[in-house]
């Protein structure tokens, strides 16, 4: 737990929340600034600032709980769909405001005013190909770096 983290304080019960569900790795509660009726948050019990810092187990637990909650809000609210939003940022670019791993489960309705998250426009195929090349090269570099820094097994 991190003392100055709002979500850690909610997970510990220090701050109140309208709890919906919990398990050994996650806590679910209503968002106090809902985008739509039924908007809730799935929060990791473990304090990590974002998805990239989370263990695979904590990330998968948040994702599985978000999937379960998506089914719940669609059924309970008769929503037409659901958006799962998980922001990671430097504090500006990704619009993350609470630096504790969490996912928003936002029910979507035919008459809600949220609109699309981005405007879909066909990109220049050369730019798409270059983006793919950049990502593949970066992944190769990361894998090579990881192999260089692997610790040998204790029996070696």
CATH code: domain of residue 101: 3.30.428.10
The verdict on residue 13 lying in a domain is: yes
**Structural domain contains residue 132:** no
Classify residue 81: in a domain, yes or no: yes
> Could you tell me which residue, 128 or 152, shows the higher pLDDT?
128
For 20-34, 87-101, 103-117, 125-139, which range has the lowest pLDDT when averaged over its residues?
Answer: 87-101
**How many Cα atoms within 13 Å fall on the side-chain side of residue 88?**
9
Q: Which residues pair with 82 in a beta bridge?
A: 107
Exposed/middle/buried for residue 13 (C-beta within 10 Å: 0-12, 13-18, 19+) = exposed
102 is catalytic: yes
Q: What is the C-alpha to C-alpha distance for residues 34 and 50, in angstroms, rounded to an integer?
A: 21
Q: Which residues contact 61 (CB under 8 A, 6 or more apart)?
A: 23, 25, 26, 44
* Residue 156 clears pLDDT 60, i.e. is over it: no
Sequence-distant (≥ 6) Cβ neighbours of residue 131 within 8 angstroms: none
Q: Is residue 124 assigned to a domain? A: no
Which of these is catalytic: 39, 47, 100, 102? 102
Whole-structure pTM value: 0.83
pLDDT tens digit sequence for 77-99:
999 999 999 988 776 666 777 88
Number of domain units in the chain? 1
How much is the average pLDDT of 94-108? Answer: 88
Confirm whether 120 is domain-assigned: no
Which residue's structure tokens are 């379960």?
A: 68
- Within-domain flag for 156: no
Q: Does residue 139 fall inside a structural domain?
A: no
Q: Which residue's entry shows tokens 């695979």? A: 56
Establish if 83 belongs to a structural domain: yes
What is the residue range of 40's domain? 6-108
């Amino acid at each position: 737990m991190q003392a100055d983290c709002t979500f850690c304080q909610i997970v510990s019960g220090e701050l109140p929340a309208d709890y919906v569900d919990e398990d050994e790795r996650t806590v679910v509660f209503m968002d106090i600034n809902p985008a739509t009726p039924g908007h809730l948050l799935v929060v990791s019990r473990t304090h990590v600032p974002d998805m990239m810092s989370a263990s695979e187990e904590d990330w998968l637990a948040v994702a599985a709980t978000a999937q379960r909650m998506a089914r719940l809000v669609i059924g309970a609210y008769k929503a037409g769909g659901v958006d799962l939003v998980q922001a990671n940022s430097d504090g500006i670019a990704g619009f993350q405001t609470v630096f504790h791993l969490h996912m928003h489960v936002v029910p979507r309705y035919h008459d809600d005013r949220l609109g699309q998250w981005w405007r879909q426009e066909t990109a220049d195929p050369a730019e798409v190909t270059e983006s793919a090349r950049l990502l593949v090269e970066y992944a190769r570099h990361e894998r090579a770096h990881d192999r260089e820094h692997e610790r040998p097994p204790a029996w070696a």
